[in-house]
Amino acid sequence: MIKLKIVGKDEREKACGFEGDDKAELVYCSEYLDGDRIVLDTDRCGRYCVVRFEDSMREAFIYVPGRNVAFFIPPANNRPNYSPKSFTGAMHYIEARYATDEEISKVKNLALNVYDQHENATFYPHASANVETRGEAVFAARNAVDGMYSNSSHGRYPYQSWGINRDPNAALTIDFGREVLINELRLTLRADYPHDNYWVSATVSFDDGSKEVLKLEKSEKPQCFKIKERKVKSFVLDKLIKAEGESPFPALTQIEAWGVEA
């Protein structure tokens, strides 16, 4: 069993879709209201799912530790980090299915989650940070795992990024929600030069107690780092050292963690 529904701010069920053994669909013929959320119900804990909560966005491979997922519709007055086409209008197609064995076992970017958000406490991966520039959505931690690589500017979609508000103690946490095996990291720095600066070094601290120091360059391209394979549930990116003589605004466009399920 797998099922999708829309629940309002008042906890009233507003729509319920087709319930299937392996796949669920929901066509919602109304405009979203602030406080609405998409709820995904599964048949047991620990499911891997492929979801598409918004038909203008790509699918996401997620891990669900419990039996339910809650995705809160981004409020209309605060979603500049999403496409202007997303979550608008009075016709929405939503789908979810259980991942295949091949999708579960293959090598992939385990940090990617286009539907991650601040409120997310029910599905993984999840990105969080101790600082985000001015608390603005365009500089939120989730932007670093949304699969968008446009980094020649900053601010509104498609140039959203993780901004650190000039804080030298800024730290980004990636939580996978289960054990995974990682052997490669990739960082894409924001490259809106000359507005931006860049980091020359960053430290990745894994929950197994080990660390990796990454040497970074001024580049608009993804910077790839092969690392010793580790079985981890999370890591923290911190100790971000910026280049001297540049602007005070380094930022991260994307972080990737490549590997397989443990």
To the question of pTM greater than 0.75 for the whole model, the response is yes
Average pLDDT for 44-69:
98
Q: Report pLDDT for 42.
A: 98
Q: Please provide the average confidence, as pLDDT, over all residues in the chain.
A: 98
Tokens 């992939």 correspond to what residue?
108
Residue ranges of domains in the chain: 2-101, 109-261
Residues 64, 142, 27: CA angle, nearest 5 degrees: 60
Instruction: Decide if pLDDT at 85 tops 90.
Output: yes
- CA angle 207/112/15 to nearest 5° reads 115
- Asked if 212 and 203 count as a contact pair (C-beta separation under 8 A), the reply is yes
Closest C-alpha among 76, 47, 114, 89 to residue 24: 47
The reply to whether omega before 74 is within 30° of 0 (cis) is no
pLDDT for 18? 86
**In the chain, where does DSSP find H-type helix?**
101-105
Looking at residues 96-118, what average pLDDT do you find? 98
Q: What CATH number does domain 109-261 carry, 1.10.760.10, 2.60.120.260, 3.40.1210.10, 2.30.40.10? A: 2.60.120.260
Question: For position 218, what pLDDT does the model report?
Answer: 97
- Rounded Cα distance between 161 and 37, Å, is 24
